[in-house]
Amino acid sequence: MSVVVTGATGFLGLRLVRELLEHTPSLTVLARPGPRSAVERITTFLRWSGLPEEELRRVPQRLEVIDADLRLPLLGLSRSAFDRLADRVDVLWHCAADITYAPGRGEVDATNVGGTRRVLDLLSAGGRRPALCYASSIGVAGAQRDGIVPARRLDGSHGFHTPYERSKFEAEGLVLDWAERHGHPVTVFRLSVLVTDRAGYPGWPEHPLRYAAHAVRTMLREVPQVMAADGSMTLHEVAEDARCNLLPVEHAARAMVGAAHLGGTPGPPRIHHVVHPLGVAATDVASALCEHVGVRVRTTAAPADAISEAERTAHAIIGAYLPWLKVSRGYEESGLAALGLSYTDRPGIDRDYLMASLR
């Protein structure tokens, strides 16, 4: 069984690699070349995550790395290398994406939409019928404020807060269209915002909560006047009932690999919401983020036209994360529990967890 992974050097991909190596003797990783090799980055993570030395020594033999870039024609491979890979892949985990929430539309589209199209071309090009496991996002529900997001194809009618959300919606649509056309086994994982309470190591890929903390720090540096004399700042338009869905990344990776092993049969594509059963009050997330950077936060539901010029500039800097403070929706139970994958040992995300994840 030939298993191929994109995005293996990322925050989620590293945990997926660890889970997958427990089920398969070897993995092929499609990775962007960089100053540190993919094998080195993966081995550093596996050591940090506690893999015994004896197993670590065998990792380089168990990983085949192919230099690839999602933004390039044929993923940056030569025609013959592309065809050879297409002819031997049995399962592909497509996890690579540009997760920066705020850049221009073209940048995220090139990686997330164009890259997914090229991955689907790869899967169609060979003589086999490879399965696809695709890392989607609950962000595909876009600006849906409340209600329950169904575990089926969405129509995008609520609009989107960010180019990233739209790109993930469009990419998921490509995956579902392709599944219908070609009939390959496809599993779509709509992932919550993934976090961890384990302290990282130098150069580790961080999680969105930490990116949000960096944005809050930048905001305070660039617009210090948003801080009142008493050291507090006000966030406007925060819905009182807003809840964020956050999930420990370790549990997401375990559930994804578990679901793929239990349910890899042909048929219509399966869509799983890989989410926490309980949301966290958005006000708790905002307070944890602000406390972490040394400022107190007040939240108000006051509309945007009531805010000062400085607050408007400040909101623009952290704008990519403000949608977290606006939605109170839930997610349809999508079969993970039926597969025995609800993981009741999953920690609740409380204030202590939030603070630990930001340390």
Ligand X SMILES: NC(=O)c1ccc[n+]([C@@H]2O[C@H](COP(=O)([O-])OP(=O)(O)OC[C@H]3O[C@@H](n4cnc5c(N)ncnc54)[C@H](OP(=O)(O)O)[C@@H]3O)[C@@H](O)[C@H]2O)c1
Contact positions vs ligand X (CB under 6 A): 6-7, 9-13, 32, 34, 68-71, 95-99, 111, 115, 135, 137, 168, 191, 193-194, 205, 207-208
> CB 248 → ligand X: shortest distance, Å?
11
Which residues, other chains included, contact 118 with Cβ-Cβ below 8 Å and sequence gap of 6+? 70, 72, 73, 74, 75
Contact 118, 28 (CB under 8 A): no
d(CA 159, CA 165): 9
Task: Return the number of the residue (193 or 219) whose C-beta is nearest ligand X.
Answer: 193
Closest CB to ligand X: residue number: 10
Task: Return the number of the residue (137 or 162) whose C-beta is nearest ligand X.
Answer: 137
Contact 122, 83 (CB under 8 A): no
Q: How far apart, in Å, are the Cα atoms of 102 and each of 12, 74, 197, 204?
A: 20, 27, 25, 21
Q: Which of 222, 351, 208 is nearest to 292 (CA)?
A: 351
Task: Return the number of the residue (205 or 319) whose C-beta is nearest ligand X.
Answer: 205
Contact 137, 168 (CB under 8 A): yes
Which residues, other chains included, contact 52 with Cβ-Cβ below 8 Å and sequence gap of 6+? none
> CB 219 → ligand X: shortest distance, Å?
21
Task: Return the number of the residue (244 or 314) whose C-beta is nearest ligand X.
Answer: 244
Q: How far apart, in Å, are the Cα atoms of 43 and each of 29, 47, 196, 272?
A: 13, 6, 19, 29
> CB 69 → ligand X: shortest distance, Å?
4
> CB 1 → ligand X: shortest distance, Å?
22
> CB 12 → ligand X: shortest distance, Å?
4
Q: Which of 22, 25, 18 is nearest to 50 (CA)?
A: 18
d(CA 301, CA 243): 14
> CB 310 → ligand X: shortest distance, Å?
30
Q: Which of 187, 173, 178 is nearest to 135 (CA)?
A: 187
72: helix, strand or coil: coil
**Could you tell me whether strands 186-191 and 243-244 are parallel, antiparallel, or unpaired per DSSP bridges?**
unpaired
Task: Return the number of the residue (311 or 324) whose C-beta is nearest ligand X.
Answer: 324
> CB 171 → ligand X: shortest distance, Å?
8
> CB 77 → ligand X: shortest distance, Å?
12
Task: Return the number of the residue (107 or 333) whose C-beta is nearest ligand X.
Answer: 107
Task: Return the number of the residue (236 or 292) whose C-beta is nearest ligand X.
Answer: 292
Question: How many Cα atoms are found within 13 Å in the side-chain-facing hemisphere of 8?
Answer: 34
Task: Return the number of the residue (50 or 203) whose C-beta is nearest ligand X.
Answer: 203
